[in-house]
Amino acid sequence: MAETSASAVDLDEILEEVGQFGKYQITSYLLISLPIFFTVISGTSYVFTAGDLDYRCHIPECLDSGNQYMPPWIANAVPFEGKASHRIPSRCLRYEPANENITSHSPHSVSCPAEMFLNTTIRCNKWVYQRDESTIASEWDITCDENQWKLTLVGTVNSIGYFVTTPIAGYTSDRFGRKAVLLGAISLACFSGLARSFANNYEVFLLWEFLDMALGGSIYETAFVLGMELVGPEKRVLGGAIISAYNGLGEVFLGLIAWAVPYWRWMLRVIYGPAIFLLLYFWILPESVRWLIAHGRMNEADSIIQKAARVNGVVLSDKYLNMMRAASSLEQQAALKDDKADAESTDSVPLKDVLIEVFQSRVLLLRLFVCCCCSCVNMFVFYGLSLNSVTVAGNKYLNFILVSLIELPGYLATYLGMDRFGRKMTLCASLTFSGACCTAYIFVANVEADWMRLVLFMAGKFGITISFTVMYVYATEMFPTQLRHSLLGTCSMFGGLGITVAPQTPLLSRYMEALPLLLFGGMSLATAVLALLLPETVGTKLPDTVEEAENIGRKPVPLTPPRRFSQRDVFSQDCVQSLTLKSASSPDV
């Protein structure tokens, strides 16, 4: 039923008439921005809740040693370490006291002169932390090199939750609708995030960290698909760039919130508390029209299209009205047929049959494999650079904000370049640029100028931001409607592998400071070569069937902006054929 009625409607044609990015789409994108802000902030909050911080050994022989991180006498009691430009007290070593009977009540306990200590060092079992921030490290004494894995494990557990939920959410979104999955994920994420702020030990905190992403990790992908299905083919790049820009702004807001509220429990409450109001979206956020049409819910789709036309100031043509009448008539006829043979001809193709058809297609399977690899590397490098930015010397909040802000010009470059140079060239060039910048870090790793390392971090993040954004739009354009979110979710699931490993990369810097960046660079360059196997999709219509998806890329697409169509030829057959780009020549992937 849905397949027959949907085949009578071409949403890209309708969006050409209604307006590909009018007031209605702008309003909807503003609504979508808040859930994306929320999921980016909540999903990356572990950078600060489980972040490392400065601490030193507690010196019981010295008076008030627990009140200050850097008292005047600290060099007498604790050895210093680090680069010449950034020397700090040792975290886990202290000088052995010259006399075991010395206490804080001794005559010299205030000044703690050097003669109170020997030149030999011993390990300590109590610490003094910087008092301007609080993380789970200071809350539960997760200190010294042998316990660093407990802090990085938080990010990995967070990512495993994302990894588990993404393909399930993709299926449920394709089955039950984008709006239902989005609202369900928001409500569950709010509950688990607030519960995490009340955790009384490390293990409970870790459990809620996992559940947070397992229950709410699908928000970004669902909002992205919902946004992309709102706009016409000529505005997909703009739509993708806007939604992705929310990602960068969300990270900036996270840095500002963490800077303003450095106590981790209250930071989580500030993040998750206001998000409860997003549940009001049940009454104000529209469902995806493309999803409604694909599932034969023509009356609901028509209602939203009519509203969009009114908001955009457009009077719908007789062509549209006749199209919707025909689709509604087919829907009603299919609902009245009881005969099994007739039902098979009018009812929707079962989702499992479409899935089987996809896995029988060599073209789509190879395309899916490449997309999964690209997503994995994109997320590994993208999040890896953000996580490692707080380890660069200087203000870690400012470093994180700057590395996040560089995403915004990256999204602008994506918007300007994707239509002009094509998806494939933009993807490959951005991966190559990011890989080169990350690899170049080895030449400045030991340079005293911290700004040089930060610049390479930002340049690498700029390149991978373009690749990250292109890949989301690219994957959306390469797969059929009924499985678009499911397959995009599959790509994101493999991207979750990259996110899962990324939190562990700071541990590599213990062996070689530039090692994390060298790993990012090598993987980016290798993926740039692999991406050459993908087809060009610039200017094509979103495929609704497996056959249409396979036909993408069978004809070379010139690297120029897609033709801008006038209202007069929106519904001409030549226009539709030019967007379909079907050819019998041998395909790319």
Flag whether 470 is in a domain. Answer: yes
Given a cut of 50, whether residue 346 has pLDDT beyond it is: no
Report in angstroms the alpha-carbon separations of 324 from 291, 312, 334. 15, 19, 15
Helix, strand, coil percentages, rounded to 5, for the chain: 70, 5, 30
Flag whether 150 is in a domain. Answer: no
Read off the pTM. Answer: 0.74
Q: Poorest-confidence range of 65-69, 384-388, 549-553?
A: 65-69
Last residue of a domain, one of 111, 132, 153: 132
Query: Which pair of tokens denotes residue 260?
Result: 């303003």
Flag whether 88 is in a domain. Answer: yes
Query: Under a CB-based contact definition with an 8 Å cutoff, are residues 225 and 465 in contact?
Result: no
The Cα 545–Cα 354 span in angstroms is 9
* pLDDT at res. 506: 86
Flag whether 517 is in a domain. Answer: yes
Residue 249 has a CB neighbour count (10 Å cut-off) of 19
* pLDDT at res. 171: 79
* pLDDT at res. 427: 93
Q: Poorest-confidence range of 75-89, 93-107, 152-166, 371-385?
A: 93-107
Please give the residue range of the domain that contains residue 498: 359-556+566-589
Region 532-538: mean pLDDT is: 86
Region 130-143: mean pLDDT is: 88
The Cα 113–Cα 120 span in angstroms is 16
Given a cut of 70, whether residue 319 has pLDDT beyond it is: yes
Given a cut of 90, whether residue 196 has pLDDT beyond it is: yes
Give the chain's radius of gyration (CA, Å): 28
Query: Under a CB-based contact definition with an 8 Å cutoff, are residues 463 and 403 in contact?
Result: no
Q: How many separate domains does the chain show?
A: 2
Given a cut of 70, whether residue 344 has pLDDT beyond it is: no
Its sign, for the CA torsion 376, 380, 382, 383, is: positive
Query: Under a CB-based contact definition with an 8 Å cutoff, are residues 63 and 109 in contact?
Result: yes
Average of per-residue pLDDT values in the chain: 79
Q: Which comes out higher in pLDDT, residue 549 or 421?
A: 421
Given a cut of 60, whether residue 312 has pLDDT beyond it is: yes
Please report, rounded to a whole number, the percentage of residues in the chain having pLDDT higher than 70: 82
The Cα 93–Cα 583 span in angstroms is 70
Flag whether 161 is in a domain. Answer: no
* pLDDT at res. 453: 83
How do strand 93-97 and strand 127-129 relate by DSSP bridges? Answer: unpaired
**pLDDT tens digits, 446-466:** 776 678 888 888 999 999 989
CA 416 to chain centre: 21
Residue 436 has a CB neighbour count (10 Å cut-off) of 17
Band (318; pLDDT cuts 50, 70, 90): confident
- The amino acid present at 399, given as its one-letter code, is N
* pLDDT at res. 100: 65
Across 154-177, b (16+ Cβ under 10 Å) vs e yields bbbbbbbbbbbbbbbbbbbbbeeb
Q: Which comes out higher in pLDDT, residue 383 or 198?
A: 198
Last residue of a domain, one of 132, 158, 187: 132
Flag whether 59 is in a domain. Answer: yes
* pLDDT at res. 347: 42
Region 394-419: mean pLDDT is: 86
CATH of the domain at 449: 1.20.1250.20
The Cα 332–Cα 1 span in angstroms is 9
Flag whether 494 is in a domain. Answer: yes
Query: Under a CB-based contact definition with an 8 Å cutoff, are residues 298 and 331 in contact?
Result: yes
Given a cut of 50, whether residue 94 has pLDDT beyond it is: yes
Region 203-231: mean pLDDT is: 87
Torsion, Cα of 117, 119, 123, 129 (10° steps):
60
Flag whether 424 is in a domain. Answer: yes
* pLDDT at res. 576: 30
Last residue of a domain, one of 86, 117, 132: 132
